[in-house]
Structure 1
Amino acid sequence: MDGQPSSDIIDEIRDIPLYRTSIEQGFFPILEKPEIARGFPDNWMTPALAKALEEGEAEFVLSTGTNHARMQIIRPPYFLLKTYYRLWSEHPDIADTWHEGCRRVSLTTLLATEHVARVNAKKRGVLPEGVPTLDARRLDERTVYLNLRLDPALWLREDVERMIGEIRTEQRAHPQGRYHLDCSGYHLAHLIRKAREWGLWADFPQPASVITAYEYTPANVRAYLERYLDCPVVDLFGSTELGYLYYSDHNGRYHPYLDRMSLELIPVAPGSHIHSLIVTSLRSPHMPLIRYRSGDCVRTIDGSTDPAKVTRFCGREKELLPTPRGLVSQGDLDDAVTTAAPSVFLYQLRTEGDDGLRLLCTTFDGAPLEAAEQVGLEKFIGELTGLPCQAEHRTHIPIGISGKYAWLKKDS
């Protein structure tokens, strides 16, 4: 039967309480997040796991919870980082920056920076600093985190000057002055915009390679980054519990990266070409996931359920918007925005009850929308959803408490 684990996989998970009923019945249903949490951690506990926890070879961590409730998981220390480093070292476009020893500068959420600072403080047996120093924000000898504010739109000139200075510090550590920039696409776009606005762009050290890896990067944002960065900009797709599953090349094409993993694609609704991503993974030996619904949605080049034909990741399943024209994903909206208005930077779609939709958006240069762009946005989104839409320019769209942007706000 499609998706059912092989006998070799069953042998590896036989002692895990969560899977006993499925093994006895000879059928593994799709594993949902609530099932992972129910009875945790006893539902995962085996003698081998208990020993690994005791010896520090396994640890409890929380998923990011950006788009769903935070979920406790079990994994080896630095599981996600090691997956990232391996992929970086093997990527056909940017492996040279790994093997040259380039340092990694990470520009992403404040929560990520605070986590690194807390871990380092705990190692030293001290309380975290109110404003962590550069050394307090070093994840390891290779990676440092930059961001010290929740909302990058509210960075001050002094923030941008500090970050550019810290990037220069990392750049100078390399014999050829090269470094690798790891980021949320939104955060890097904010930094570029502000550096240009305040006359600091000439001081910004050009990276040797860039990875966007923390959230969906809209096409307009990616085009903006590529316009100002003279290096490959590649995207990684993955999660805290799974590691990375796909990477893009410099042309934007996605390739599977499925070490000890397999995938199924299941339409989110009958006849839909949006598919749920179902993952079987033995990559984490302490928490193998069998037919796990990651919550992510994808599209394929031909609408089929062939994981090798994935061409884009289009957001979270829980954020699909029901419309008269069918379910609409973040990626679908992004296509409409990109087609209609290349000047749009941030956007947020809001439902208005029976009255239709409002699209709030900022622009890269801060100027109001051109009349043709506003008309185009309202037209394309109306055609996509079958609902009337009003586009409105904003100078600021606040970021979420997680440090990531919500593309959709539904009536509560």
Structure 2
Amino acid sequence: MNRKQPALKPPQTGSQLRPMELKFLDAVCDVPFYRDKIVDGQAPIITKSEVAKDFPESFMSAATASALDTGAAQIVFSTGTNHARMALIRPPLFLLKSYYSIWEAHPVIGESFRRGIPRVSITTRLATDHVIRVNSEAGSNEHRSSRWLDSRTLYINRVLDPADWTNADVAKMVEEITQARQTVGGYHLDCSANHLAHLLLRAYIPAPDSIVNAYEMMPANTRRFIEHRLNRSVVDLFGSTELGYMFYSDNSPSYVPYLEDMDVELAPIAGSRGVYTLVISSIRNRFMPLIRYRTGDCVLTEDGTADPSRIVKFVGREPELLSGPGVLTAHGELDEIVADHAPAVFLYRLGVTDREAQLAYTTFSGDPLSSEVSLKLSAALSELTGLPVTTEHRYRIDIGKSGKYRWLCDERTDIAP
């Protein structure tokens, strides 16, 4: 991959003003947060740290305060990435309803939604714990598992790190998938990709009618492994806890926008190889409208332009951009190198010090890469990042506290584990 490496500059803060449509202005006219930010109908780009400051008072309009009192809105926390969890105000089941809406509308897998098949979700324990807590607070006394979020969605993972699953844990999850499938003769599999791959390495599961990855960037090797094992294509849904789902993949080369009550911009990240970050204006959640909100999610477009309809790849998070000599590298760019040179690699983590970097990795088989493959992978990663990179085989890479895997551990920064 011969890409020109531009001079490294600080990521663009995006303070430029932009005039907003009337529907967005009307939605925030009573929200304290925007009183000093939107002037003459023009809005700046806002960041997560700005949104967090003085929360929840900064979003406490009269309508939102009333909704919190009646239960029409609730204060919740995002289930977390490898960075700080975000507090937000939203209606109950906001994200789930957004998921169902895009699932039903999807041109490829929408039929499975309309048949009423159950959705089985294998993702982080933190997400499962959230479902259990929601049911407990609601005082649900239905004769079924507390891990059913509603009548058709069941969360099955109850362990932080899939590497710690016992045989009994695996058997229980397979049993629950089988039972869910028997209700209407099919099921929809919702997954964090690496969690699902762990399960497929341990057990056979019935083939799902459809598969969705809706939680984070899916590594190419993991996608290939899952699709081969289950003989199904994986559909990507992209969104966030605070915004709902915004894009999906189908059979077309670009991601398809699903932007009801939303607008999207792409802001360039200076010092990158044409990577953009999403800037979203959304009034979908009327209790916490976000105008020109820099999500921190990074993308590449088909032609390198800032056209949101030409997004071809989500490549990770802005706080996890790797800074090398003269260039910023996104997770998706490094993942492409790993997939091209070492398709046997399963999990990996790049450790970076002041002088060098090392890619620790596991494989689907458990066997280390050959010396030849390791050397070629190291050379390609060194060329990409501008750092000297070596590789080291591991039999295990631990998951983060959030229940998600970190691809980058950079000792030069203050990113917390």
When normalised by structure 1's length, the TM-score is: 0.92
> How far apart are the structure 2 equivalents of 1:63 and 1:215?
13
Letter in 1 for 2:189: L
> 1:44 aligns to what?
59
Tell me the CA shift for residue 181 of structure 1: 0.6
> 2:227 aligns to what?
226
Letter in 1 for 2:37: S
> 1:183 aligns to what?
191
Q: Which one of the candidate residues 24, 40, 54 is aligned to 2:69?
A: 54
> How far apart are the structure 2 equivalents of 1:221 and 1:188?
9
- Segments of 5+ residues of structure 2 without an aligned counterpart are 1-15, 413-417
2:265 equivalent to 1:264: yes
2:157 equivalent to 1:156: no
> How far apart are the structure 2 equivalents of 1:184 and 1:92?
22
2:180 equivalent to 1:170: yes
> 2:7 aligns to what?
none
Change in 2 beyond 3 A, CA 1:111/1:134: farther
CA contact (8 A) 2:192 2:216 kept: yes
Letter in 1 for 2:171: E
> How far apart are the structure 1 equivalents of 2:267 and 2:53?
24
2:215 equivalent to 1:214: yes
Aligned residues: 396
Letter in 2 for 1:391: T
Change in 2 beyond 3 A, CA 1:215/1:232: same
> 2:328 aligns to what?
327
Deviation digits for residues 68-96 of structure 1 (CA, Å, limit 9, x no counterpart): 21221111111000000011111111111
> How far apart are the structure 2 equivalents of 1:205 and 1:272?
41
Tell me the CA shift for residue 372 of structure 1: 2.5
Greater mean deviation of Cα atoms: 32-41 or 78-87:
32-41
Letter in 2 for 1:140: D
Deviation digits for residues 80-130 of structure 1 (CA, Å, limit 9, x no counterpart): 00000011111111111111110011100011111111222222289xxxx
- Segments of 5+ residues of structure 1 without an aligned counterpart are 127-132, 196-200
> How far apart are the structure 2 equivalents of 1:44 and 1:334?
38
CA contact (8 A) 1:14 1:23 kept: no
Deviation digits for residues 384-410 of structure 1 (CA, Å, limit 9, x no counterpart): 012111111110000001100000001
Deviation digits for residues 192-232 of structure 1 (CA, Å, limit 9, x no counterpart): 0111xxxxx2xx21111010111211000000011011333
> How far apart are the structure 1 equivalents of 2:253 and 2:156?
26
CA contact (8 A) 1:295 1:317 kept: yes
Letter in 2 for 1:66: T
2:276 equivalent to 1:275: yes
Letter in 2 for 1:398: D
Tell me the CA shift for residue 40 of structure 1: 1.5
> 2:369 aligns to what?
369
Secondary structure of residue in 2 paired with 1:312: strand
2:95 equivalent to 1:80: yes
Change in 2 beyond 3 A, CA 1:210/1:168: same
Greater mean deviation of Cα atoms: 332-341 or 243-252:
243-252
> How far apart are the structure 2 equivalents of 1:164 and 1:243?
29
CA contact (8 A) 1:233 1:250 kept: no
Q: Which has the higher contact order (CA 8 A, sep 6+)?
A: 2
Greater mean deviation of Cα atoms: 82-91 or 50-59:
50-59
2:130 equivalent to 1:115: yes
CA contact (8 A) 1:234 1:250 kept: no
> How far apart are the structure 2 equivalents of 1:270 and 1:230?
40
Tell me the CA shift for residue 316 of structure 1: 0.7
> How far apart are the structure 2 equivalents of 1:3 and 1:229?
46
Secondary structure of residue in 1 paired with 2:390: strand
Tell me the CA shift for residue 25 of structure 1: 5.3
Secondary structure of residue in 2 paired with 1:234: strand
> 2:386 aligns to what?
386
Q: CA RMSD for the aligned pairs? A: 1.7
Secondary structure of residue in 2 paired with 1:322: strand
Secondary structure of residue in 2 paired with 1:265: strand
Deviation digits for residues 113-162 of structure 1 (CA, Å, limit 9, x no counterpart): 11111222222289xxxxxx961111111011110111112212211111
Tell me the CA shift for residue 171 of structure 1: 0.8
> 2:338 aligns to what?
337
Letter in 2 for 1:242: L
> 1:198 aligns to what?
none
> 1:130 aligns to what?
none
Tell me the CA shift for residue 264 of structure 1: 1.1
Greater mean deviation of Cα atoms: 378-387 or 21-30:
21-30
> 1:408 aligns to what?
408
> How far apart are the structure 2 equivalents of 1:302 and 1:252?
12
Q: Which one of the candidate residues 137, 140, 150 is aligned to 1:140?
A: 150
Secondary structure of residue in 2 paired with 1:276: strand
> How far apart are the structure 2 equivalents of 1:6 and 1:267?
22
Letter in 2 for 1:151: D
> How far apart are the structure 1 equivalents of 2:18 and 2:221?
36
> 2:9 aligns to what?
none
> How far apart are the structure 2 equivalents of 1:260 and 1:409?
37
Letter in 2 for 1:160: V
> 1:100 aligns to what?
115
Secondary structure of residue in 2 paired with 1:173: helix
Percent sequence identity is 48
Show the 5 A alignment for 1:304-323: 304-323=305-324
Tell me the CA shift for residue 317 of structure 1: 0.5
Letter in 2 for 1:230: N
Letter in 2 for 1:276: T
Letter in 2 for 1:267: P
Deviation digits for residues 349-391 of structure 1 (CA, Å, limit 9, x no counterpart): 010221x110000000111112222112101101101211111
